Amino acid sequence: MGDQIQHQLAQLVNLFQEERAANIARQEAMNARLDALTKDLANSKVDSESTDHTSQNRGWKGKSGVAEGSKSDAGGSSFIPRSQKLGELAKLRQIGSVADYKEKFEQLVSRAGTLTQSQKIELYSSGLVDYIAIEVELHNPLDLATTMSLSRLYERKGQPFRSQLLDGRRSKTSDFSPPQRTRFVRKLTRSEMDERRLKAMLLAISMPQLSLFDDIRNEQQNSPDVQQLISAVHDGTASDQWSVKNGLLLYKHRTFLASNSPSIQTVMTALHNQGHEGYQKSLFRITRDFHWTGMKRHIRDFVRACGVCQRHKTETLQPAGLLQPLSIPEQIWSDI
């Protein structure tokens, strides 16, 4: 048992390591894509700025000293290229809560220039922690607002799991407890089941109520034929198939019902309506506890007349034959 548990733990550890390696590889691929996107945007921005700078130099030729001096004095300390802001946005990572990360991301994305929704979503998801980023990507959100809402949702859901991981890393002792010894359950014999059914001790099995047995006992006391059989059992003249327990006449350890007993309808209704099973299963359930003359015919007629079974089930009978049998053809058919 201990070796099996150790093997299962080793499998769980291997699965966790494989998932972690897959997440790291996915994060590296996303970082590479973001770096490529940042470089493309930076190159396009540099080309546009160089073109604008060249045109300005041509227009301000002859006054370059004054213009360049005023430009450097006025904005030299506050101007930051947008490509640099986009690079900061791509390198932004969630360190604390999602709310703090969201606030920093909104500050940077507002100064990063024009970005599409897919680019914003990709930049935002790449900075989230692994378990939140994976859950958000599975939903494939279409806008940035939905992405942020999903990240906050999965942060709240993952807080218990994250606290358990942190506690497990801090504590060096294992919380593993050896499994308890398996308790073997012995199957009850037929006589034990009959005894507990009569005493109403088995409450979790499918069985009639105790009041039904009281009604059957009263019916047997008022039936001359049943009383004659009970007397034969007491005298020892009846066969071994008949017995009497707790005032009830039993046939092969099953409660005997007279053919005209009103309890027959009650028994069939109670046991068949539990699952509305077919004829065979209903017959098995009823013959396990009761017996009367002609019970197969009664159960078959009862199942056929059940409204629920008629609406939701079909009988598995042999299909009917042809309505009008065709004669043997004498030549090849040319048209049908």
235 and 150 both lie in a single domain? no
13 and 131 both lie in a single domain? yes
Using one digit for the tens of pLDDT, what is the confidence trace for 171-186?
A: 545 566 666 666 667 7
Q: What is the pLDDT of residue 71?
A: 41
26 and 106 both lie in a single domain? yes
Q: What is the CATH number of the domain that holds 278?
A: 1.10.340.70
10 and 111 both lie in a single domain? yes
Residue 318 covered by a domain: no
> Cβ-count burial of 243 within 10 angstroms (0-12 exposed, 13-18 middle, 19+ buried)?
middle
How far apart CA 323 and CA 91 sit, in angstroms, is: 79
Using one digit for the tens of pLDDT, what is the confidence trace for 128-165?
A: 888 788 888 888 888 888 888 888 888 887 765 555 55
How far apart CA 270 and CA 268 sit, in angstroms, is: 6
10 and 132 both lie in a single domain? yes
How far apart CA 270 and CA 156 sit, in angstroms, is: 49
Using one digit for the tens of pLDDT, what is the confidence trace for 93-132?
A: 888 888 888 888 888 888 777 788 888 888 888 888 887 8
Residue 60 covered by a domain: no
How far apart CA 99 and CA 105 sit, in angstroms, is: 10
Tell me the pairing of strands 254-256 and 248-251: antiparallel
Whether pTM > 0.85 for this model: the answer is: no
In total, how many domains does the chain have? Answer: 2
How far apart CA 144 and CA 41 sit, in angstroms, is: 20
Work out the percent of the chain whose per-residue pLDDT is above 70.
71
Using one digit for the tens of pLDDT, what is the confidence trace for 207-248?
A: 545 578 888 888 888 888 888 889 998 988 888 889 998 888
Confidence of residue 296 (pLDDT cuts 50, 70, 90): very high
285 within 8 A of 207, measured Cβ to Cβ: no
Lookup: tokens for 87: 């690079």
263 and 159 both lie in a single domain? no
165 and 195 both lie in a single domain? no
Q: Around Cβ 220, how many Cβ atoms within 10 Å?
A: 23
How far apart CA 236 and CA 250 sit, in angstroms, is: 15
Q: How far apart are the first and last CA of the chain?
A: 72
* Full residue range of the structural domain in which residue 268 is found: 190-312
